[in-house]
Amino acid sequence: MNKEELLKAYQEKFGEKGQDIFFSPGRINVIGEHTDYNGGHVFPAAISLGIYGVYGPRKDNKITLYSGNVHGPVVEFDLDDETVEKDDRFWANYFKGMLTYLRQRKDGAKINHGFNLYVKANLPSGSGLSSSAAIEMLMGIILKEEFDLDIDRIALAKLGQKTENEFVGLNSGIMDQFACIMGKKDSAIFLDCNTMEYEYKPLKLGDYEIIIMSTNKQHTLASSAYNDRVAECHGALEKLQTKLKIKALGELDDHTFDEYSYLINDETELKRARHAVSENGRTLRATKAMEDNDLAKLGRLINASHISLHYDYEVTGKELDTLAETAWKQPGVLGARMIGGGFGGSAIAIVKKDQADAFKKNVGKVYRDRIGYDASFYDAEIVDGTKKI
């Protein structure tokens, strides 16, 4: 997608010239799944698949949005319209939430006129690559820069999370927004979601590359199942807190968890908490393995993450399992696992570069035979977070 095409599309839609172009990346997550809202660690990276936005100011107080991917009508609402759209999948909610929360801040009155926004993505929507956070952070950075708002990137990430939680109804953690807006070229972000301390770590994969595999499965019931997982972990935490002084499951190591797990007298909650704790431990060990150039160990931990998401967290499903399990059997593969919320969406595999073509062909064939439709494969670069281009 080049700038000329984007400006042309804006002009066709709104009948005048667009002013500025922004890009907001999607993300992958090397390891650390469903750990963010449990106060654990994550290890995501922003990717070159993302969402472009062309901005143009208006003299009135109307916001007009058009998505070149949705192919619906232009969505229009007033600057001070804070209503949450009823359909929680309605895409304008992601923009409206950010606008609402930024206008409620101290310098929010600086947002004093409307605008047109044309968006177009090369990032598939609803595929576990975080198109929703990409939109929120796109909106956040556009408003910050166009209206000169005094807000830092991490605060924008938190407003994106609030938008998911309150405008969309998904009780998600901070990982997606943080990865989109804080991304750094060729690095993954090692983030402690309990303290918000973070460190960039170069993604040193040598002769290997990360291949993104999308199941192309619509995850329709994903948000209610996601919220169930959040509630189950909370239930386990409350039981542990009767004996332990902790604020989050992410504070526990495997040994302490084992010792006190007798307190969790609910089988489901026990499994969910066991994943949250073991996944956090794997994430700590995986980042160390990457630093030590022990890619084989990194791969084993990635595989173990998928297994835990399958058995303990129960968020994989046959599409994601088919991708991961088939990937494990291919030559030149160090590891593979589902990423994102689960129940569809995407997986990643770390594959030897010179085996990548055969990998896609083989996994693609098995997937089609078993599932009945195609998976998609993407090679993405690791890029900087949301910015004006």
Binding site for ligand ADP (CB under 6 A): 51, 67, 69-70, 89, 91, 94, 119, 121, 125-132, 135, 340, 345
125 binds, among ligand ADP, Mg ion, none (CB under 5 to 8 A by kind): ligand ADP
User: Is the Cβ of residue 128 or residue 299 nearer to ligand ADP in the bound state?
Assistant: 128
346 is in an annotated binding site: no
Tell me if 182 sits within 8 A of 312, measured CB to CB. no
User: Is the Cβ of residue 1 or residue 70 nearer to ligand ADP in the bound state?
Assistant: 70
User: Is the Cβ of residue 132 or residue 187 nearer to ligand ADP in the bound state?
Assistant: 132
User: Is the Cβ of residue 172 or residue 287 nearer to Mg ion in the bound state?
Assistant: 172
Q: Smallest gap, in angstroms, from Cβ of residue 321 to Mg ion?
A: 21
In the chain, DSSP assigns E strands to 20-29, 41-42, 44-57, 62-67, 75-78, 115-121, 187-192, 198-202, 208-214, 333-339, 346-352, 376-379, 387-388
34 is in an annotated binding site: yes
32 is in an annotated binding site: no
226 is in an annotated binding site: yes
Instruction: List beta partners, residue 66.
Output: 118
Q: Smallest gap, in angstroms, from Cβ of residue 342 to ligand ADP?
A: 10
For the CA atoms of 73, 79, 85, 90, the dihedral, rounded to the nearest 10 degrees, stands at: 40
* Residues ≥6 apart with Cβ < 8 Å to 149: 102, 105, 107, 108, 110, 111, 143
129 is in an annotated binding site: yes
- Alpha-carbon distance of 270 to 200, in angstroms, equals 32
Helices (H), 209-266: 222-240, 254-260
The dihedral region occupied by 216, where left means phi > 0, alpha psi between -120 and 50, and beta the remainder, is left
The residues that are catalytic are 176
User: Is the Cβ of residue 239 or residue 306 nearer to ligand ADP in the bound state?
Assistant: 306
Q: Smallest gap, in angstroms, from Cβ of residue 63 to ligand ADP?
A: 14
35 is in an annotated binding site: yes
121 binds, among Mg ion, ligand ADP, none (CB under 5 to 8 A by kind): ligand ADP
- Which residues contribute to the site for Mg ion (CB under 5 A)? 132
* Residues ≥6 apart with Cβ < 8 Å to 158: 174, 177
User: Is the Cβ of residue 90 or residue 328 nearer to ligand ADP in the bound state?
Assistant: 90
Q: Smallest gap, in angstroms, from Cβ of residue 2 to ligand ADP?
A: 17
Question: 153-162 vs 92-103: helix axis angle to the nearest 10?
Answer: 120
Q: Smallest gap, in angstroms, from Cβ of residue 185 to ligand ADP?
A: 22
Residue with tokens 């046959």: 318
CA distances from 70 to 73, 90, 230, 370 (A): 9, 10, 30, 29
* Closest by CA position to 53, among listed 98, 3, 117: 117
Q: Smallest gap, in angstroms, from Cβ of residue 1 to ligand ADP?
A: 12
52 is in an annotated binding site: no
The gap from C-alpha 190 to its chain's centroid, in whole angstroms, comes to 14
189: tokens are 């972000």
111: tokens are 């947002």
19: tokens are 């002013």
Binding-site residues from annotation for ATP: 67, 126-132
Binding-site residues from annotation for substrate: 33-36, 226
Binding-site residues from annotation for Mg(2+): 132, 164
Binding-site residues from annotation: 33-36, 67, 126-132, 164, 226
